Amino acid sequence: MNVLSVQSTVAYGHVGNAAAAFPLQRLGHEVWPVNTVNYSNHPGYGDYVGGIYRAGDVADILGAIEARGAFERCDAILTGFMGSADIGREVLAAIGRIKAANPEALFVLDPVMGDAERGIYVAEGLPRFFREEAMAKADIVVPNVFELAHLTGHTIKDIETAANAAQSLMRVGDSGDGPSMVVVTGLRHESEISVLLVTDGQAWQATTPLVNIPSWGAGDAFTALFLGSYFNLHDARAAVVRAVSSIYGLFVATEALNADALALIEGQKEIVNPSERFAALPVWSA
């Protein structure tokens, strides 16, 4: 499968495309990375250099890819950190052209806005862009718990309220447009952490032990693992099981190495054959 991946990148560590491209490739998929930001490293290290690309530069790169005749061969568009709402609008315009060339192409949206620890950390205008423009066009949305609450206005207290909030994302827009699938990450319960899959009428929860390491780029890697597994297995629940199992294995490998970035290379066997498997259990089913 061919995946157009539009998100940030870093030279040191694994965040954005530097976290997403390799897992997709390791699962057998071609990746066309387009970067919205180029930093030396994740800002969580304390300092960094680099900056956000201009929206016109991103549009030019997307246009050049289109000129190669690639849009009709694009099977999925994966988006993460946008950098600005203007970049997001250029990406949506390109997605519209991809969908016209290949109506079967999936738009997988990771609405990167922030997290519970840091709050909103993206440019002004991006949260509204995700809520009012991008959400209705997405096929699959992969928010963390903080982002889910911000997108829906729901208070997330437990797995049930998270599932209800996720289901509400599937009915956005005046025409009832919206994603057919929502995958929520980062649901913490003391010493465990869960991922929640919500489709029309069904919700599934996959839970692993919590591994306390810096998790920069983990969401980007997980979304790529889920998308790659979904292509390979053709089953959303099975894809969540493998993605959750793989990201847990990568976390364990990172902890064992005492690494300051996700151990994608050293732990790459976990991408294709996780050491441990975790079940996805039903939350509810209509």
Q: DSSP letter string over the chain?
A: -EEEEEEEEESSS--THHHHHHHHHHTT-EEEEEEEEEESS-GGGS---EEEPPHHHHHHHHHHHHHTT-GGG--EEEE---SSHHHHHHHHHHHHHHHHH-TT-EEEE----EETTTEE-S-TTHHHHIIIIIGGG-SEE--BHHHHHHHH-----SHHHHHHHHHHHTT-STT----SEEEEEEEEETTEEEEEEEETTEEEEEEEE---S--TTHHHHHHHHHHHHHHHHS-HHHHHHHHHHHHHHHHHHHHHHT-SS--TTTTTHHHHS-SS---EEEEEE-
CATH homologous superfamily of domain 2-285? Ribokinase (3.40.1190.20)
* Whole-angstrom distance, CA of residue 144 vs CA of residue 164: 14
> For every one of its 286 residues, what pLDDT tens digit does the chain have, with 9 covering 90 and above?
999 999 999 999 999 999 999 999 999 999 999 999 999 999 989 999 999 999 999 999 999 999 999 999 999 999 999 999 999 999 999 999 999 999 999 999 999 998 877 888 899 999 999 999 999 999 999 999 999 999 999 999 999 999 999 999 987 655 667 899 999 999 998 899 999 999 988 999 999 999 999 889 999 999 999 999 999 999 999 999 999 999 999 999 999 999 999 999 999 999 999 999 999 999 987 6
pTM of the model: 0.96
Task: Provide the residue ranges of all domains of the chain, joining segments of one domain with +.
Answer: 2-285
Amino acid letter at 106?
A: L
* Whole-angstrom distance, CA of residue 204 vs CA of residue 189: 16
